[in-house]
Structure 1
Amino acid sequence: MDQTAPDTTPRGSGVRLVPMPGERMPGWLDRAMADYVASRMRSGESREAAEANKRQSLDKWFPGGSPAAGHHVWELTLDDDTVVGQLWVGPFTAGSTEWWVFEIEVDAAHRRQGHARRGLELAHVIARDAGATSIGLNVFGYNTGARHLYEELGYEVASLQMRLPLT
């Protein structure tokens, strides 16, 4: 990803997608991966399996600590330059036209204000302009607020896993 790419989202649109500065990338990635492990464990995976999935993700999509080719990591930024969250999208496999939302997070104080919706809408345009034919995502079953947003944006269920704890 070109970390020097300019912010091209017009001011006055509520939320802009600003490329995450390189110096903030390691801290964000550590937090995002810790949340990923916690979410997988909350959904029933063992810590060992969740950590293995984290390592696979990092090796595939952040080789050497930098985003893979074609991947974008943005800060969701308000018109007054307040950063309210982060968004990471890119092709699911190198060169694919099937893209993926790998991470979207809005800071707790700024949730339920439309920032995630606007950020995703902007990312959809960028993905389409880059040749993407679809964009997918994973949402854990317990995250009903996110599921509702994605359904409102037109995302459809592609697969559904269910689990019954026996303890």
Structure 2
Amino acid sequence: MTLLVPLTPAEFMDYKSTSIPMYAHEKVRSGEWAEADAMRLAREAFDLLLPNGLDTPGNHLFGLRETADGPLLGVLWFAIRQRAADRIAYVYEIVIQPQFQRQGHAKRAFRALEDKVREMGLSGIALHVFGHNTGARALYESLGYESTNITMFKPVG
């Protein structure tokens, strides 16, 4: 079982210090940002989405744990957003610590998230996944997620 436990301020700061460089790396890898600009743009994006950190309204950041006082397995961050006439949870990030990867924690975290979303009266869950992240795409598809928008690119010169 994987529990969603609210992040502490210290855990949030640790998460932020690793999440921003990871996001910058993924945006460079996807070809969307130049490496020279990536860290600045990632910091700006993070600060825009979470201007008040853990206290940003509508955002929920959870530590993933097997027990309430167990080790931090990873982090799941979602925000409440509008999708057409429905209120949904939009997952900004799930990250599992390297030593806990490939053990089913992400799948169990998404099952716990489904329960949380139902409790909150939201109608669904949406997320973004980078096209090159085939492992995450396979996980989401195995959980019943379907593509709703696809951006494609072909270099020609």
The one-letter code of the counterpart of 1:38 is: H
Q: Helix, strand or coil: the match of 1:145?
A: helix
Q: Which residue pairs with 1:39 in the alignment?
A: 26
Q: How do 1:1-167 residues align onto structure 2 when only pairs under 5 Å count?
A: 13=1, 15-47=2-34, 48=37, 51-52=40-41, 54-59=43-48, 61-79=49-67, 81-92=70-81, 97-166=87-156
The one-character-per-residue Cα deviations of 1:86-122 (angstroms, maximum 9, x if unpaired) are 11112136xx712211110111221111100111111
The one-character-per-residue Cα deviations of 1:47-98 (angstroms, maximum 9, x if unpaired) are 3377436514422x211333421321111112371211111112136xx712
The one-letter code of the counterpart of 1:88 is: W
Q: Which residue pairs with 1:10 in the alignment?
A: none
The one-letter code of the counterpart of 2:64 is: L
Q: Which residue pairs with 1:8 in the alignment?
A: none
Q: Which runs of 5+ in 1 are unaligned?
A: 1-12
CA shift in 2, pair 1:158/1:138, >3 Å: same
8 Å contact from structure 2 (residues 54, 60) kept in 1? no
Q: Distance in 2 between matches of 1:68 and 1:99?
A: 15
Q: Distance in 2 between matches of 1:92 and 1:52?
A: 22
Q: Structure 2-normalised TM-score?
A: 0.85
Q: Structure 1-normalised TM-score?
A: 0.80
Q: Helix, strand or coil: the match of 1:92?
A: strand
RMSD, aligned α-carbons: 2.1
8 Å contact from structure 1 (residues 73, 86) kept in 2? yes
Q: Which runs of 5+ in 2 are unaligned?
A: none
Q: Distance in 2 between matches of 1:110 and 1:53?
A: 25
Q: How many residues align structurally?
A: 151
